[in-house]
């Protein structure tokens, strides 16, 4: 009976959608509705609560996380549900002193900038939009591709320049006696590639990184250099999510999700050696279907996860 009802509503929707589309076009609502549905689809697996699964996987262990670009705190943008924050041991990176001072209770804090080597760098501060501060100068000529209005240009003006001490991921984690990095997030307004170059021998199980197809900053390395570097590190792209407004039919910026390349032995062994943490991260990020595929490939049985439905593909 349930299957018959589903078939009926699918047939009905197929008839109604062209009519609904014409109405949305008439009232200039089509893109708004599509964006809304895309956002809801992207977060559809948030209907699940994986906490019990993750508890069983991790026991009392924590996922070691490095958050580069941590203004507001760990997972402040709620890229994944905050209910899962408890499973992480976070290391925050914040080179702006007044911002770093807000995290006095934070156990692990790096108060330097990160780069490909040890050196001093200029950090261009945008006090009117602090999260857009960067190692690169804003490029006003590129604002149109991001649909930034003239009245908002002032928010992207450099209000002050400070010189900061920079070091590599590898050096700073070693100083903190961190031997294993499970999750890496980099959101640094164009400096992502240079920061990655300092990762040394660390190989996280999941990387979330901001990538600019069309940057609003001057002289930022091309997006394909960043993606190629990750592929050379033996990572593969499994997901992306557009960020902000754009005049192109592709997003001007995206958050990309990379995991070890499961198609070769090196990536496969890295995942299998850390399968509990890898599985937990994939659940937290809602990557259910590909997780099920990989567990089957690796001949790892988990009946509870096998039965879970990935709502994204509904």
Task: Convert the pLDDT of each residue in 100-117 to its tens digit.
Answer: 889 888 889 999 999 999
DSSP run (H or E) holding 256: strand 253-260
Task: Convert the pLDDT of each residue in 7-61 to its tens digit.
Answer: 888 888 888 889 988 898 898 888 888 889 889 999 999 999 999 999 999 999 9
Query: DSSP assignment, residue 127?
Result: G
Q: What is the pLDDT of residue 20?
A: 87
The mean predicted confidence, pLDDT, of the chain is 95
Task: Convert the pLDDT of each residue in 247-258 to its tens digit.
Answer: 999 999 999 999
Domains of the chain: 1-42 (no CATH), 49-313 (3.40.50)
Q: What is the pLDDT of residue 73?
A: 92
Q: What is the pLDDT of residue 310?
A: 96
Radius of gyration for the alpha carbons in the chain, expressed in angstroms and rounded: 21
Q: Is 277 within 8 Å of 265 (Cβ atoms)?
A: no
Task: Give dist(CA 84, CA 51) in Å, integer.
Answer: 7
Task: Convert the pLDDT of each residue in 254-291 to its tens digit.
Answer: 999 999 999 999 999 999 999 999 999 999 999 999 99
**The pLDDT of residue 209 is above 90:** yes
How many percent of the chain have pLDDT more than 70?
A: 100
Query: DSSP assignment, residue 159?
Result: -
DSSP3 helix / strand / coil % (the chain, rounded to 5)? 45, 20, 35
Q: Per-residue DSSP letters for 59-115?
A: TT--EEEEEES-TTSTTTT-SS-GGGGGGEEEEEE--SHHHHGGGTT-SEEE-SEE-
pLDDT top residue among 14 and 167: 167
Task: Give dist(CA 91, CA 186) in Å, integer.
Answer: 12
**The pLDDT of residue 178 is above 90:** yes
């Amino acid at each position: 009976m349930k299957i018959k009802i589903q078939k009926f509503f699918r047939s009905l929707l197929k008839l109604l959608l062209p009519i609904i589309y014409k109405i949305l076009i008439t009232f200039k609502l089509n893109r708004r509705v599509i964006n809304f549905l895309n956002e809801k689809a992207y977060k559809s697996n948030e209907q699940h609560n994986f906490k019990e699964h993750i508890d069983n996987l991790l026991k009392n262990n924590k996922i070691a996380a490095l958050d580069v670009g941590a203004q507001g705190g760990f997972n402040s943008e709620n890229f994944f549900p905050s209910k899962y924050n408890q499973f992480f041991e976070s290391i925050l990176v914040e080179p702006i002193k007044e911002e770093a001072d807000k995290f006095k209770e934070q156990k692990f804090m790096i108060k330097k900038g990160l780069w490909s080597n040890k050196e001093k760098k200029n950090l261009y501060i945008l006090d009117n939009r602090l999260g857009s501060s960067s190692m690169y100068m804003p490029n006003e000529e590129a604002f149109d591709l991001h649909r930034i209005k003239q009245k908002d240009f002032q928010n992207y003006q450099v209000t002050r320049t400070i010189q900061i001490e920079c070091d590599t991921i590898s050096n700073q984690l070693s100083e903190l006696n961190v031997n294993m990095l499970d999750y890496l997030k980099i959101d640094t307004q164009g400096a992502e590639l240079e920061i990655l170059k300092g990762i040394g021998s660390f190989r996280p199980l999941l990387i979330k990184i901001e990538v600019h197809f069309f940057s609003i900053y001057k002289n930022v390395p091309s997006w394909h250099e960043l993606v190629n570097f990750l592929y050379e590190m033996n990572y593969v792209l499994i997901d992306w999510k557009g960020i902000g407004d754009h005049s192109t039919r592709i997003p001007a910026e995206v958050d990309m999700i990379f995991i070890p390349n499961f198609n070769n032995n090196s990536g496969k062994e890295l995942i299998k050696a850390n399968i509990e943490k890898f599985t937990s991260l994939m659940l937290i990020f809602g990557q259910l279907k590909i997780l099920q595929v990989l567990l089957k490939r690796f001949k790892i049985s988990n009946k509870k996860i096998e039965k879970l439905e990935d709502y994204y593909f509904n």
